[in-house]
Amino acid sequence: MPTIIDDDFMVCTDCLMIIANDDASGLDYSLGEEGAEARMREIREAIEDIQREEGQIAVGDSDRDDEFSSSPCACCGTRLAGARHHCVILGSDRER
């Protein structure tokens, strides 16, 4: 059974789309085709690194979302101000 190993993992909207739905199509609206492709690769690599080193990222409690934050995204590290969404990192009991 998974256990929460990080209950304060706040991510940007771009990362949330990919974590929640494996969908990066929203990037096309604000970035050109090449920019969207590069941003998608950046986010997917960050997710893979975190999941390899720490555990599975899952969507958390939307009541803990922050509508506007200047804190960096815990996933991709972007420093662009904006919404931050609550996620958790899950690990297996066997890993502890």
Q: Note the pLDDT tens digit of each residue in 77-94.
A: 999 999 999 999 998 765
pLDDT at 96: 45
Domain ranges for the chain, please list them: 2-95
Higher pLDDT, 83 or 96: 83
β-strand partners of 65? none
- Tell me the pTM: 0.87
CA–CA gap between residue 55 and residue 5 (Å, rounded): 8
pLDDT digits (tens, 9 = 90+) for 27-68: 887 788 888 899 999 999 999 999 999 999 999 999 999 999
* Nearest alpha-carbon partner for 73 in 53, 92, 52, 57: 57
Of 90, 59, 84, the C-alpha closest to 72 is 84
- Are 75 and 12 within 8 A, CB to CB? yes
